[in-house]
Structures are given as C-alpha cells and as structure tokens.
Amino acid sequence: MIDDNPAIDDTHLVDKDSLTTVDMGVNLGGLLMANPVTVGSGTFGNGKQYAGFYPLNRLGAITTKGVSGVPWAGNDNPRIAETASGMLNSIGLQNPGVESFVADELPWLATCGVPVIVNVSGHNASEYAAVIQRLETESAVSAYELNISCPNIDCGGMGFGTDPQTAYAVTQLCRKSTSRPLIVKLTPNVTDISEIACAVEAAGADAISLINTVLGMAIDVKRRRPVLARKVGGLSGPAIKPIALRMIYEVYQAVKIPLLGMGGICTASDAIEFMLAGATAVAIGTANFTDPMTAPTVVDGIREFCLEQNIPRVSELTGALL
C-alpha cells in the first residue's frame, strides 16, 4: 500500500503508520462473524450465565451447549478433575433436548444480537439430522456445529469422528438437511486428523472445528480409584494447546474449508497463534471457567495486536505463518 508518489491521491488507502481501526470480521464457511472469537460448546451454557459479565454481542458468535433430539441425563459424579494446567471432564452432554432448547433458550439467544451456532449431538446419524431438521425453521439459528467428537458418551459422539467413513456419512446426511453453514467438530483422539478432515470436507462441511478434548485420566492414589466416575474423560485447558495448534496446522494444509480453532486458548496471543497456524476463527473454552471475561479480553487483544502490527483486516492473520 505504500506509494511514494505524492501526486497520487492515496488518502483512501490505509496509512500503515496511523492505523486506527481493524476490520475484525471473518467468514467462517458462510457464517459472518463480527470478530473471530466464539466460545467452546459446553463451557458457556447457552450464554445466560455470562450475560451478567459482558454483553454477548462482544463475541463473534455464541456456540451453544450440545443439543440432542431427546433429553440426555449425562454422567455420574464426579464429572470433573483438575489436572496440571488443565482439567478432565465427563459431563456426558447433559441437555434437556431440542424441544426444550427451542422453547427455553432460543428466544433469549435471539435477543443477543450475535450469531448462534447450535452444537448438535446424536447417537447415530439420523439423530443428528433430526435435530437439524427441527431447528431449520428457527430463524435464531445461524449455523450448526456437529459434535462427532465427544469422548464422554458410549454410543455416538467420538465414535463418528474417529473413522473417515462414518464421519463422511453423518456429515453428508446433515448436509442434506440444511443449507445453513455446517461446521463439523473433530476429535484429536485419532492417528491422522487430516484424513477425517478431508472426509467431512468431501461430505459437504462448510467449516471444521478442532480440537475437542483429549482423552485422559486421573487417579486418586489413596483410594486407588479413577477420580472421574466414568474413569476417563476429556482433557482441556492450556495443557492441550500445543496439540491443538499442531492439528490446526496440519488440517490447514489438508483442506480448503475454513477452520475454527480451539484447545487451551487463554489469551489473545494464544488466539493469534491459532490463526497464524490456519484458523479463521477461534473458540474460548475452559478459560471461561478460569475467568468469565476471557473471551472479550481476547477480542480486544487481537484488535490491539493488529493495530500494533499494522494489520488492517484480522482475516489476514489466517494461515500467515511464515
């Protein structure tokens, strides 16, 4: 943008020495977000709990708690364990089902002035598709995120995300059910995540979110028993950030559709790492528990970084690793 010829009127161009605004908007597979920051499903309820801390339209999008066709009870206690720089959870996608979601949550979400990504759960492909079909007439829904990566349920969940054929099949069936942006959330608990990513891209996914939690375990040595009632659970938090970042980096090379990066992001610097590795947008998950102000703080920090670095559009960060 630098032009040394004073005869040319370049006032319409961005003056890199005095950048005062940053275009924070991103396009996540057709989902237009005012900034690249959303939240990790399950760490944010359906938003109400955080609305007392900041206006939710400071987010680029809200991602809901997982929604299934019928109510799910979730797992026994204890459901969580703190581990070094992280935590294990085995909540088990407890939720009151899609009808309750539509009646009790969507009307309020519709007033937040921010796109709503509904996270969708199921035990089989047709259950996922049924939830989407139920939500197609609901105008408050902006996009879907298919959770084919939850490690905490016995049937479905991660089972779909560890095999390219089943990942393809569930994505394809859901694709046929909607023209809204369809995001597929992948598990890191696989040998080659790029293979799964390519499968869901081929099945028509508009974007991929990664990573879900890393399967882990904690043991109470005095009781000689696992800490979690379910014995194993999903590890999240800063402990998994390097794994997530590496997977974003790999998948960015493998697919053309945009990525929603997550896994231990706590700061703007963390988020920018994910974007440089290839993420179009990012999600704040476990850090919401540590500090409920994390997500808006990350938004502000990304903007400040762009101003400092003379980056006029945040989308320029995506895949800009040198």
Partner 1 sequence: MVMSDMTYPACNADNNRMEPGLGGGQPRQEFCSVLDNGFMAESIAKIRLLAPYVAENCHPGQFVHLRLPNLEAHILRRPFSVYAADARSGEIQLLYQTVGAGTEHLTTVGRGAQIDVIGPIGRGWQPQPSAKRVLLVGGGLGVAPLYMLAASFRTDVEVHLVMGAQSADRLICREPFSTYITEPCLHITTDDGSAGQHCFTTKVVKDLLDEGSFDYIATCGPEAMQKAVAALAAEHKTVCEVSLERRMACGIGACLSCMVETINGPQRACVDGPVFSALEVIW
Instruction: Catalog residues that contact partner 1 under the rule CB under 8 A.
Output: 42-45, 48-53, 65, 73-74, 77-82, 84-87, 89, 91, 94, 237-238, 286-293
Exposure string of 76-112, with b = 16+ CB inside 10 Å and e = fewer, is: eebbbbebeebbbbbbbbbbbebeebbeebbeebeeb
User: Of 212 and 280, which has the nearer Cβ to partner 1?
Assistant: 212
Q: How far is CA 322 from CA 121, 277, 278, 280, 319, in A?
A: 37, 10, 12, 16, 9
CB of residue 84 vs partner 1: minimum separation in angstroms?
5
CB of residue 319 vs partner 1: minimum separation in angstroms?
29
CB of residue 162 vs partner 1: minimum separation in angstroms?
25
User: Whole-angstrom Cα distance, residue 265 to residue 176?
Assistant: 33
User: Of 51 and 217, which has the nearer Cβ to partner 1?
Assistant: 51
- Active site annotation includes 150: yes
Task: Look at residues 164, 179, 155 and name the one whose alpha carbon lies nearest to residue 30.
Answer: 179
User: Of 193 and 284, which has the nearer Cβ to partner 1?
Assistant: 284
Tokens 């049937």 correspond to: 155
Tokens 């890199």 correspond to: 16
User: Whole-angstrom Cα distance, residue 139 to residue 126?
Assistant: 22
How far from the centroid of its chain's Cα atoms is residue 311's Cα?
A: 24
CB of residue 42 vs partner 1: minimum separation in angstroms?
7
User: Whole-angstrom Cα distance, residue 195 to residue 110?
Assistant: 36
Q: Name the catalytic one among 150, 174, 198, 266.
A: 150
User: Whole-angstrom Cα distance, residue 264 to residue 283?
Assistant: 9
CB of residue 296 vs partner 1: minimum separation in angstroms?
12
Q: Which two tokens stand for residue 89?
A: 């959870």
User: Of 100 and 309, which has the nearer Cβ to partner 1?
Assistant: 100
Bridge-based pairing state of the strands 143-147 and 182-185: parallel
User: Of 19 and 217, which has the nearer Cβ to partner 1?
Assistant: 217
Q: Residues with catalytic annotation?
A: 150
